Amino acid sequence: MAPEASITIDTSKKQSPIRNAAQGATLKEHLPPAKSSQTYPPQTSAESAGTNASLFFVGTATTILEWEGLRLMTDPNFLHAGDHVHLGPGVRGTRKTNPAVDLHDLPHIDLVLLSHYHADHFDQVVEASLRRDLPILTTPHAHKHLTHKGHGEAFTAVQPLDAWESTLVNVTPSSIPKRQAQLRVTGMPGKHVGDGLVAKANDILGAIPPTNGWMLELGYTGDSSASGPGSDFECGYRIYISGDTLYVSELEKIPELYTHAGKPIDLMLIHLGGTTVPGPHMPLLMVTMDAEQGVKLVKLVQPEVTVPIHYDDYDVFLSPLSDFKDAITKAGLSDKVVYLDRGDEFQFHVR
């Protein structure tokens, strides 16, 4: 088995995520204040002072994780209400909401997790604007598209991860003496298109790109000079991001390797929306989970808490958040879900 890959992020080198930032422009130090801050279980403001990490919900599948000085952004999409995205041959989506922060108002971003190369997750403005040396972890398919561009347009720090492949992210400097903050990122299975004839047709046409989910394990190692990278890694918080997937049988391996193997999942970010587009030679094709499939995944993975994202942002999202809320209530799981609006944050503690 090949050694686990690793990268190092020096969070003291605070750079704008935007290339060719306006001369004289001041880089923002922080994200805008959250409209609302939530924890699980709910805590008083005094109790929440013990949290050391946060997740800011920008909108659609875009979130920004902050921990140990690291800022990690998922699926950057910063289009505004009325803007359009290309989702496949002859298929266009229109955004219905605005992001909680504008692209050019972002503070430093150290790392991007891109679940797949699709315009509602990596829009045309983002692709044109991001710094070319910004580290990106993504699918092999997206890696090919991002790195094979001409005329100085290629991204130069993209690392491909397929399902079940991992990369260790060393975060420096660490706030804890003789301990190295570290993030393990593992690709999780996902399918935009189910099995059968539709999947075969899509493989030929390449209309809908392959997608990943992610498992993020935040924690610490001992003195890295005394052992190899990650050899004594202790996970202090585990986040599963479903990515744009349907409920497929491949997902059933996740609880087998984590939940039922002594590696509980603290937080699940679940992509919902019931995204529905015209399929290859088919009238309509759902390519992300709706409420029913979402509840099924919550029951399968059994996270400590679930936060839904990727809902109500585009006109092709046909399963509203209200459907998921109703289904969660009927399933008796209301106390296991935290709902964030755009501009809200979820605070938590990495042990």
Q: Which residue has the higher pLDDT, 116 or 25?
A: 116
pLDDT band for 231, please (50, 70, 90 cuts). Answer: low
What per-residue confidence (pLDDT) applies to 324?
Answer: 99
Helix (H, G, I), strand (E, B) or coil at 269: strand
Q: Which of 120, 116, 118, 83 is nearest to 98 (CA)?
A: 83
* Tens digit of each residue's pLDDT (9 = 90 or more) over 127-159: 999 999 999 999 999 999 999 998 889 999 999
What per-residue confidence (pLDDT) applies to 205?
Answer: 45
Tokens of 92: 């266009």
What per-residue confidence (pLDDT) applies to 201?
Answer: 47
What per-residue confidence (pLDDT) applies to 281?
Answer: 53
Region 305-326: mean pLDDT is 98
Q: Out of 45-59, 202-216, 219-233, 251-265, pick the least confident.
A: 219-233
Helix pair 291-301, 321-330: axis angle to 10 deg: 50
Give yes or no for a contact between 273 and 200, defined as CB atoms under 8 angstroms apart.
no
Distances (CA, A) of 216 to 3, 74, 151: 18, 12, 34
Parallel/antiparallel/unpaired status of strands 53-59 and 136-138:
unpaired
Give yes or no for a contact between 229 and 282, defined as CB atoms under 8 angstroms apart.
no
pTM of the model: 0.93
pLDDT band for 226, please (50, 70, 90 cuts). Answer: very low
Mean pLDDT of the chain: 91
pLDDT band for 309, please (50, 70, 90 cuts). Answer: very high
What per-residue confidence (pLDDT) applies to 207?
Answer: 62
Dist. CA 84–CA 121, nearest whole Å: 12
pLDDT band for 227, please (50, 70, 90 cuts). Answer: very low
Tell which CATH classification among 2.30.30.60, 3.40.50.1980, 3.10.20.30, 3.60.15.10 matches the domain 5-17+30-348. Answer: 3.60.15.10
Give yes or no for a contact between 74 and 62, defined as CB atoms under 8 angstroms apart.
yes
List the domain boundaries for the chain: 5-17+30-348
pLDDT band for 223, please (50, 70, 90 cuts). Answer: low
* Tens digit of each residue's pLDDT (9 = 90 or more) over 174-193: 888 888 999 999 999 999 77
* Tens digit of each residue's pLDDT (9 = 90 or more) over 287-300: 999 999 999 999 99
What is the C-alpha radius of gyration for the chain, rounded to an integer number of angstroms? 19
